[in-house]
Amino acid sequence: MRWFTDPPPSLPPLISTLMYLFVSRLPLIMMMQLNSNLRIWTWSFLGLLEELKKLCLKCKPAKIVVTSELPLGAGLGSSAAFCVAISAALLALSESVKLDFSHQGWQKFGENELELLNKWAFEGEKIIHGKPSGIDNTVSTYGNMIKFRSGELTCIKTNMPLKMLITNTKVRRNTKALVAGVSERTMRHSNAMTAVFNAVDSISNELAAIIQTPVSDDLAITEKEEKLGELMEMNQGLLQCMGVSHASIESVLRTTFKYKLSSKLTGAGGGGCVLTLLPALLSGSIVDKVVQELESGGFQCLIAGIGGQGMEISFTGSS
């Protein structure tokens, strides 16, 4: 069981090439003709497959059934949730984590076990995306909220209930092209774009401070929600300055603005999803009207609470 209990090796995005080498069983002479880095990673990968084979020989055949309420390819982290779920299941079944299989209901991993799970899920994200930031799998693993800056991830806890309307525009976005567009705009207008990025950083820091401050009553919650709404609107304006909005996103913004709700795009932009803050005291009938109008325009709507529990596992078929 050592293969799962050890931290995952850091593999470069050469999995498909290495799989081809393995399946084709290239002669040793051809392996030796590879450059040194590729040869090292090839042997490392073959060693991993051998360890996996040993592990699988000790396990009974199994069927994996995956269900998800998240729309795929919409920038909501569905691939990360998948990687976390699969990694957690394998860790549990390989007895690499301490769990009570007779326990009724949901269980959580310990802190060290969550760290191990997150590392394995990140490896899965690398296979899918190449160079992911690690934000999505960390959120899926630990829950709550993540602050990301300069490659550093910090888990933060919200001290107030937050509910969001998530609107899926169903427009597929090209993340690579959007990132390239922002880079080009930054090169053309370096001073202006630097100011935009600094403003985004200030908004992120202020938002993190607001949600971590304790609240005493509904009035305090309302005041905080108003500040969060303003920050979301400012952030959306800055994202528009970067050139990552889209006609479908603007359509959602116009609809939610009619009901005096604050919204912003999420993910890479260029389509994907829009977040709309739903205040705690907002009438349910207003929410229904907003959802009805958006869905009549061909959009998909989901409502989610912010600050979930993260990865939990059950052996009793709980739902």
Instruction: Judge whether 82 and 66 are in contact, CB under 8 Å.
Output: yes
Residue with tokens 């269900």, as numbered in its chain? 67
Helix, strand and coil content of the chain, in percent to the nearest 5, comes to: 55, 10, 35
Tokens of 69: 């309420």
Write the CA distances from 298 to 38, 63, 252, 288, 292, integer angstroms: 47, 36, 11, 15, 10
Residues 96-101: contacts with CB within 8 Å, 24+ apart?
A: 96/1, 96/4, 96/5, 99/313, 99/315, 101/315
Q: How far apart are alpha carbons 210 and 207 in whole angstroms?
A: 5
The catalytic residue among 6, 100, 136, 218 is: 136
Tokens of 60: 């009974």
Instruction: Judge whether 75 and 272 are in contact, CB under 8 Å.
Output: yes
- Angle between the 36-57 and 15-24 helix axes, to the nearest 10 degrees? 70
Instruction: Judge whether 70 and 47 are in contact, CB under 8 Å.
Output: no
Output b/e per residue, 83-105; b: 16+ Cβ within 10 A. bbbebbebbbbbebbebeeeeee
Catalytic annotation present for 201: no
Q: How far apart are alpha carbons 157 and 140 in whole angstroms?
A: 14
Residues tagged active-site: 136
